[in-house]
Structures are given as structure tokens and as C-alpha cells.
Homo-oligomer: A and B are copies of this chain.
């Protein structure tokens, strides 16, 4: 990490927010990016106060993202921020992202990318037109063992893929938590701020992205069952989807926020003709590998002979666990390297790109729209 850190400003992530602090730790862990400015809240006073909490120069604690983009653009090139990190609720992704790109900034945006497929495609087009780097924080793809799994599956180590199970189960919305005013529950269950998908949008999007990242398979059609179990809730809290992929593989994707007892139960299992890999986010340093005849094996992060893509994002020896923040930091490391190189190349630098984000929005919205209609063709871009 001898590259110089990238200067960034953050939109959202002020006091009481959750994910903004994670982004900041992730950006800081490897000294990949330095926070120098912020429009940390849509309430100007709170934005200022939040910036002071973080030790920002008060002059660079802005009352709105519009102010931030304008003022930073006016600073000398070697002082102004280079990248805008967007960690607001979903309905405030598209506008600042588009404006940032057009003002010449690189962008990191949380997932799902936008509320509508049209907005998502607009960001794809704008990013392409401006040539700026655009990262989407599907953070689970930052785990070294996911990168090794992707290497294995894509290089044929388990043969042609036949079946995929991906589950993302949580239990924190098993009760009408949004009625208590809890901030995270409030906006995530409100379609005007979250978009069409509840569980499907918030965590199902990660599940879709993980399958795509690891297998490279294209979804051809799907059949979904979209449910809302908590009375009074106006968005799905439990969705299961049967998947058919180009080439004949089949899959089952489940996303639920009413599965009591699950804290953050994201698991991926991929079965091929000659082998299988299993990964569990709550034990992320391991990858279970099965073959037709051999014993089960358990690979660990930092084992000899892992793929270069896994080794490159490993900081500690085996048995010294790395976890969520480290994986998240790997996304930032990739974005920073891309910005340093001046090239928006997700595959080369190791981060999910705007196209991944747009595909995710299409998938969420089509799954929800189909509801229980039966088999539906997935219309990708």
C-alpha cells in the first residue's frame, strides 16, 4: 500500500447512521482513502456537528451534497476531494452520484444502486460518459475466500455448475420495529425511500451479487414468492426465488428479515459436476470444498496455494481472523487503486462496478413485480 491515499467526501453517514461509520473504518484501515469533507446529514446543523465529531475542517462540513460538490470543485486540484462516497438511504443515491460524476468526481455508492432500473441505467451511462471510477459496495465480495471461491468456480475446479443455493436471512424485522421509530427499520421498510424491495432489496441484492460474482452465471428466468409477514408493513420481508441460469444451472435464492435468530445469515453453496464450495459469512475465513471422491476439505484464508486474488487481500496469517471491516476495506482498496490508475476497471482492481449495481436493481424490481406470477424471463440490460 505505498500508493498515496485518495481524498474523499461523504454524503450521509452522520450521527445515528450505521453504515457510514463502517465505510469510514473500511477506507481508513489500509490508509486507502482519507476523509476530508462531508455532507453528513440532510439537516445542516447535524451535518456540521457530525463533521466535527470526525475531526473534519469545519469549512468542509457542508450542509448539503450540492454545496459540497460546488465548494470542493472550487478548491485547488491537489486539495479538493477526488471521490464522493454516498451512504444515504436508497432514494438519495442517484442524484448525488450523477452530479458527482458530472462534476468530475469518482463515486463510491452503497447498494442497491438506485430505486429504479432507469436511474441505475442512467448512472451506468453517466459513468461511461465521464470515465470516472464508480464502485458499488457489495462488500461481501471483498472477502478473500469469496475471491478464492470465484477463482475456483470460474476456472472449472468444480466442473460445470449445476445448482446454487444462496440465502441471506436475518431476524431483526420479525416484529414491526419500524413502528418504534428505529431509524434503520423506518426507511428500509418504506418503499418511497428503500425502493421496490424490502428484504429483497436490502439483502437479496447482496445474494444476487454474490452468485453472479462467484459463478459468472447469467439468470435467464425466475419464479418468485414475495411475502410480507409483519402486519402493516408495506414492503416484502421474506422472498424466495427459484432461478434458472443460462447453460442449464438451477438455483434457489432466499432473502428474509423475519427469520428469527439469524443475525446476518448469508451463505452461498455452489455445486458443480465434480465438486462444490460452501461459504458462510458468519465464518468468513473458511471455504468448505467437496469433491466427487475425496474427503471434505476446509480451506482457510492465508493458506498456501490460494488464488492470487485471495492472497492479495489478506492482511494476517491464518488463524488470526479477518472479518467484515477487512472485507469492506478490500473494496475501498480496489477503488483507491482504480482511482490511482485513473481507470474504472472493476475486474482488474477488485471492486463491484456500476454495471453490477444496475443489474442488481433490475433483478430486485423484476422479482418484486413478478410476485407470485410464476416463471418470468429476467430482462437484463
Q: Name A residues whose Cβ lies closer than 8 Å to a Cβ of B.
A: 1-2, 4-5, 18, 21-22, 25, 28-31, 52-55, 158, 162-163, 165, 170-172, 174-175, 223, 225, 227, 229, 238, 240, 242, 244, 248, 250, 252, 254, 256, 258-265, 271-276, 281-285, 288-300, 302-304, 315-326, 372-375
Contacts and interface: CB of A to CB of B under 8 A. Distances in A.
A225 to B, nearest CB: 5
Nearest to A289: B295
A363 B2 CA distance: 41
Contacts of A172: 317
Contacts of A53: 1-2
Contacts of A229: 162-163, 248, 273
Contact of A162 (B29, B238, B299, B324): B238
Contact of A316 (B54, B325, B375): B325
24 contacts: A4-B55, A25-B29, A29-B29, A31-B54, A31-B55, A162-B229, A163-B259, A165-B254, A170-B319, A172-B317, A240-B242, A240-B250, A258-B271, A259-B276, A260-B290, A263-B317, A263-B318, A264-B317, A264-B318, A282-B321, A284-B321, A321-B323, A323-B323, A325-B325
Most chain B CB within 10 A, of A238, A303, A320, is at A320
Say whether chain A's binding surface is mostly helix, strand, loop, or mixed: loop
A260 B4 contact: no
B319 A264 contact: yes
B260 A238 contact: no
Given A261-B291, A323-B323, 14 more contacts: A25-B30, A28-B28, A31-B55, A225-B250, A229-B273, A259-B276, A264-B320, A282-B321, A283-B283, A294-B297, A296-B298, A297-B298, A321-B321, A322-B324
B318 A163 contact: no
